[in-house]
Amino acid sequence: MKAEYEEHDAILIARCMMQIKAKFDTDEGLSFIQHYYINQGLKKFGDDGKDAVHKELRQMLLRDCFTPEFVKDMSASERKKAQSAMMLLAEKQFEKTIKGRLVFQGNGTCEWLLCEDTASPTASQEAITTTCVIDAHEVDDLMSSHMDPKVNDEFAEWLNMRYGLIQPCKIVRGKIHRYLGMTLDFSVKGKLKIRIDDYVKNMLEDFPVKLNKDSKQETPAGNDLLEAGKGKLLNAEYRQIFHTTVARGLYVSKRACLDIHPTITILALRV
């Protein structure tokens, strides 16, 4: 892929790449929610990963999230306030596309910025579930939630005016929605069904022990779950697999499968 940049854009991108490589140039690491540091992500996703990095950096520049400055022109105070960035890559479960995310370590800004000015938090799982249950009883248009569908239309128009100049906002309507790795199914009137099948399928595919159709269990855990283990400590490879699988199981238990939460809690204690 070929791309041309203005000089100031090229300098900024090059510095981001150098800082990322210096901080995360290691083959070690754990993937809990299927995010990868840039070096791991590029190995896994190849050219698709490069395209995702380019797209993320490009939109940051086009949206004027920051402007480049020469270090020699910065005061000592400005240099002290400079923050490091890192690029993460992840595969979007349903679209099967690669997403780049440029994030900053914001704890160094606490001296001069308010916490609410440095964070963009995702809605809590409890808030999402509560809103969706209300939607199952009242509203045809979901996530942008209002009893009058016209209000959702006006909100969609505002979003496109505010954020759609570079790329139109994707508006999804219907009875089935995909959000934060979940499938929210409103097909049955007055009810909400939350599924996370694709995520679980990926967990099983990544797990080295392959299960067959006869591998069934009446409960999420065996009768010996609470007993102290007597085996040897796991080696580095199996330890990483165990940590990653438990972390992914925790994600599943919070999103959709509440019945596995007690089991995941015990396993997390062993981590």
Burial of 7 (0-12, 13-18, 19+ CB in 10 A): exposed
Domain count, the chain: 3
pLDDT value of position 260: 87
* Domain finish residue from 142, 168, 194: 194
* 224 domain residue, yes or no: no
* 51 domain residue, yes or no: yes
Residue 36's domain comprises 7-114
What the block records as the tokens of 171 is 């508006």
The dihedral sign for the CA sequence 105, 93, 17, 58: negative
* 222 domain residue, yes or no: no
Query: What are the pLDDT digits (tens) for 16-58?
Result: 666 555 544 444 444 444 678 888 888 888 999 999 999 898 8
Q: From CA 211, how far away is CA 196, in angstroms rounded?
A: 19
Tell whether 79 and 144 lie within a shared domain: no
Tell whether 201 and 189 lie within a shared domain: no
At residue 168, the 3 state secondary structure works out as coil
Tell whether 19 and 84 lie within a shared domain: yes
Tell whether 153 and 83 lie within a shared domain: no
pLDDT value of position 67: 79
Q: From CA 15, how far away is CA 84, in angstroms rounded?
A: 10
Tell whether 133 and 86 lie within a shared domain: no
Tell whether 46 and 100 lie within a shared domain: yes
Tell whether 172 and 260 lie within a shared domain: no
Tell whether 77 and 153 lie within a shared domain: no
pLDDT value of position 182: 83
Tell whether 23 and 109 lie within a shared domain: yes
pLDDT value of position 129: 76
Tell whether 101 and 161 lie within a shared domain: no
Tell whether 100 and 186 lie within a shared domain: no
* Domain finish residue from 194, 220, 246: 194
Q: From CA 145, how far away is CA 180, in angstroms rounded?
A: 17
- Ranges under pLDDT 70 in the chain: 1-34, 93-95, 106-107, 115-116, 118-121, 136-138, 140-143
* Domain finish residue from 72, 91, 114: 114
